[in-house]
Amino acid sequence: MNRGEVHVEQSSAAQESFRAVEWRDGALQLLDQRLLPQREEYLTLKTAPDVAQAIHDMAVRGAPAIGIAAAYGVVLAARAAWQRAGNGWREAIEADLAHLAAARPTAVNLRWAIKRMRGRFNAIQGEPEAALLAEARAIHDEDRAANFKMARLGAGWLPPDAAVLTHCNAGALATGGYGTALGVIRAAHARGALKAVYVNETRPWLQGARLTAWELLRDGIPVTLLADAAAAHLMATRGIDCVIVGADRIAANGDTANKIGTYMLALSARAHGVKFMVVAPGSTFDLSLDSGRDIPVEARDAAEVLRHGGRPVAAAGATAWNPVFDVTPAGLIDVIVTEKGLIERPDAARVAAVIGG
Ligand code: MRU
C-alpha cells in the first residue's frame, strides 16, 4: 500500500456546498435527508424534543451528525430549562437529555456528545446557553477537522488508481462536514488517484442511491450505483481494490457496527482479496465494550422494508425484519482510519495504542 502524504485543503469552498447541520439565528437547521435528492429543504428546530424526533425519524442521520445535532439539542434543552427553572436548570434539563439520548441506539456519538456537553454543566454560572453553544460549536468544528485528517491518512493508504466501493452515506451529510469514508474518497479523487467509485444503493433507506450519489456528483465525482446484492459479483469481476465505509460504534477490540450489509461486504472482500477500510473519528469508539457482541443494533419499523416511496412493494400479509446495522468482526478489517492515526489489522492492543484505553 502507498502510504504517501496527501494534501487536503480545508478551506476550499468546493468542499462544502451545503451544511447538513447548522446553528443559525438561535435555532438548529437541518437539511432534511428524507427528501433528498428530490428536494433540498431545511428544518428549523427550536426545542430539544423536536431535535430528538428529527434524529429518530432520520431527517438527520449518520453517527457524527447525530452527535452534533444532539449537542445543539442540549443547547435548546438548556434554554428551555433556564426559562422554566432558572438556577434549577441542571435538574430541569434531565428529561430532555434522556429523550435525546434515546433517539437512536447504535451510534455512540449521540451519547458521547451528550456526555461531553454535560461535562460543561458544573462550571457554568447563571444562564447556560452561551457556554453550551460554544461547546456544541467546538464538537462540530472538531468533527469537521477530524474528517480532513482522516481523509489525508486514508487517501494515503490507498493504492494508486484505486477502484473503491462504499456503502450507505458516510459523507458531509453524515458528519460535521467533508465526511469520513467520503472524505477519503474526496481526497483520493482530488489527487487523481481513483479509477472508479462504486456505491451500494443501501436498502431499505437508499442512503447510497439518494445521498452518497447526490453528494459525490455535486463535487463532480462520477458514481456507479449497484444493487447491494451485486457487490460480490462486482468484486469477482471488476477488480475492486478497497471497500471504504464509516462506522456507528467501534468496540475496544475493533469490532465495528455500521449500516446493515457492511458485514456481508467485509466477508466478500476477504474472500476476493479486496482491502476493507473503516473510517471513523475517536467519538465513534466505545471502549466500555470489549467486543461487538454488546453493541445494541437498532431494529426499525418493518414498513421501511415492506413499503417504498409510500407504496407497498411486498405481498400483502408478509412480515419483515429490519435490523439497520450489523457488526463486522475486527478480523475482517484491514485498517481503521481515525484522526489520531491508522489502526492496521485492529485488535484490542492496537485500538488502545491509538485511541487510548
Ligand atoms: O441509519 P444511518 O443512515 O444513520 O446509518 C449511517 C451509517 O451507517 C454510516 O455509515 C455511519 O453512521 C457513519 S457516518 C460518517
Point out the domain boundary residue: 91, 114, 143.
143
- Which CATH number goes with the domain that contains 241? 3.40.50.10470
Q: Give the strands of the sheet with 256-259, arranged side by side.
A: 285-286, 249-251, 256-259, 325-328
CB of residue 252 inside a 6 A radius of ligand 1: no
Does residue 4 belong to any structural domain of this protein? no
**What are the grid coordinates assigned to 115, written together?**
456526555
- Which CATH number goes with the domain that contains 139? 1.20.120.420
Range in 5-14, 226-235, 271-280 the model is least confident about: 5-14
Cα(32) to ligand 1 centroid in Å equals 15
Does residue 171 belong to any structural domain of this protein? yes
Q: What is the pLDDT of residue 3?
A: 47
Point out the domain boundary residue: 86, 121, 143.
143
Residues 6+ apart with CB under 8 A from 258: 167, 168, 245, 246, 247, 248, 278, 325, 326, 328
As a whole number, mean pLDDT of residues 211-233 equals: 98
Q: Are residues 136 and 162 in the same domain?
A: no
Q: Are residues 225 and 298 in the same domain?
A: yes
Asked whether residue 105 carries a pLDDT value surpassing 90, the answer given is yes
Question: Which protein residue's CA is at the shortest distance from atom 8 of ligand 1?
Answer: 259
Q: Are residues 232 and 350 in the same domain?
A: yes
pLDDT in tens, 302-331: 999 999 888 999 999 999 999 999 999 999
Q: Are residues 102 and 207 in the same domain?
A: no
As a whole number, mean pLDDT of residues 77-83 equals: 98
Point out the domain boundary residue: 143, 165, 185.
143
pLDDT in tens, 49-72: 999 999 999 999 999 999 999 999
Question: Which protein residue's CA is at the shortest distance from atom 10 of ligand 1?
Answer: 246
Q: Are residues 206 and 309 in the same domain?
A: yes
Q: What is the pLDDT of residue 196?
A: 98
As a whole number, mean pLDDT of residues 92-113 equals: 98
Please tell me the distance from the alpha carbon of residue 223 to that of residue 217, in angstroms, as a whole number: 7
Q: Are residues 154 and 136 in the same domain?
A: no
Closest CA to 285 of 349, 346, 355: 355
Does residue 2 belong to any structural domain of this protein? no
Q: How confident is the model at residue 14 (pLDDT cuts 50, 70, 90)?
A: very low
Name the residue range of residue 129's domain: 13-143
Q: Are residues 221 and 345 in the same domain?
A: yes
Asked whether residue 117 carries a pLDDT value surpassing 80, the answer given is yes
Q: What is the pLDDT of residue 10?
A: 58
Does residue 6 belong to any structural domain of this protein? no
Asked whether residue 152 carries a pLDDT value surpassing 50, the answer given is yes
Q: Are residues 157 and 99 in the same domain?
A: no
Report CA-CA distances (Å) from 77 to 48, 52, 84, 177, 335. 5, 11, 11, 24, 38
Question: Which ligand 1 atom minimizes the distance to the CA of 171?
Answer: 15
Q: What is the pLDDT of residue 310?
A: 86
Q: Are residues 288 and 190 in the same domain?
A: yes
Does residue 1 belong to any structural domain of this protein? no
CB of residue 67 inside a 6 A radius of ligand 1: no
Please tell me the total count of domains within the chain: 2
Q: What is the pLDDT of residue 214?
A: 98
The whole-model pTM stands at 0.95
% of the chain surpassing 90 pLDDT:
93
Asked whether residue 15 carries a pLDDT value surpassing 90, the answer given is no
**Mind telling me the catalytic residues?**
248
Asked whether residue 2 carries a pLDDT value surpassing 70, the answer given is no
Please tell me the distance from the alpha carbon of residue 224 to that of residue 226, in angstroms, as a whole number: 7
Half-sphere exposure (Cβ direction) of 205: Cα atoms closer than 13 Å: 27
Does residue 306 belong to any structural domain of this protein? yes
CB of residue 104 inside a 6 A radius of ligand 1: no
pLDDT in tens, 280-302: 999 999 999 999 999 999 999 99
Q: Are strands 249-251 and 256-259 parallel, antiparallel or unpaired?
A: antiparallel
